[in-house]
Amino acid sequence: MHGKLSNLQLSLYLIGAAVLLVGLLSAGLIYRAAAEQMSAASNYQVVDGNAYEVAPGASKAYRRDAELYGGTSLILIADFNRWLGSLWHGKRLAYVLAIFSIGVALICFAVARDQVPDHPADQPER
């Protein structure tokens, strides 16, 4: 960098640092809280005397009925919808928040770096 930072550059760097700090701290807290929570499976399947958690919509009966009524496309849409909904809960929410905060901070840093400081005293008069 050449010389002083402009007010806009300084503000963008500070905003980027604040977003990064708050985002990563929040993601860490969410991850820790999610690790302590129990799984939220509503169905259980017993195989050989052992109970296994089955996520809603993952049972063979559900998938068979869904394919019967809506075909393969309904299965694909339901799986995508379930995956998308899972991004907003638990550990996956922590990952999404961390990646989002890193992305926003990088954008702020890049915009601040590309700003041209306006120093009228440094420019020769014409």
pLDDT tens profile 21-78: 999 999 999 999 987 775 555 667 778 888 777 776 777 888 888 889 888 898 899 8
Please give the residue range of the domain that contains residue 94: 7-114
CA distance 6 to 24: 27
CA distances from 39 to 47, 78, 86, 99 (A): 19, 20, 12, 24
pTM confidence score: 0.67
CA 42 to chain centre: 25
- Considering the domain boundaries, does residue 101 fall inside one? yes
- Considering the domain boundaries, does residue 35 fall inside one? yes
- Considering the domain boundaries, does residue 47 fall inside one? yes
pLDDT tens profile 77-99: 988 988 888 888 889 999 999 99
Q: Total structural domains in the chain?
A: 1
- Considering the domain boundaries, does residue 119 fall inside one? no
CA 26 to chain centre: 11
- Considering the domain boundaries, does residue 17 fall inside one? yes
Stated as kind and residue range, the H or E segment containing 52 is: strand 50-54
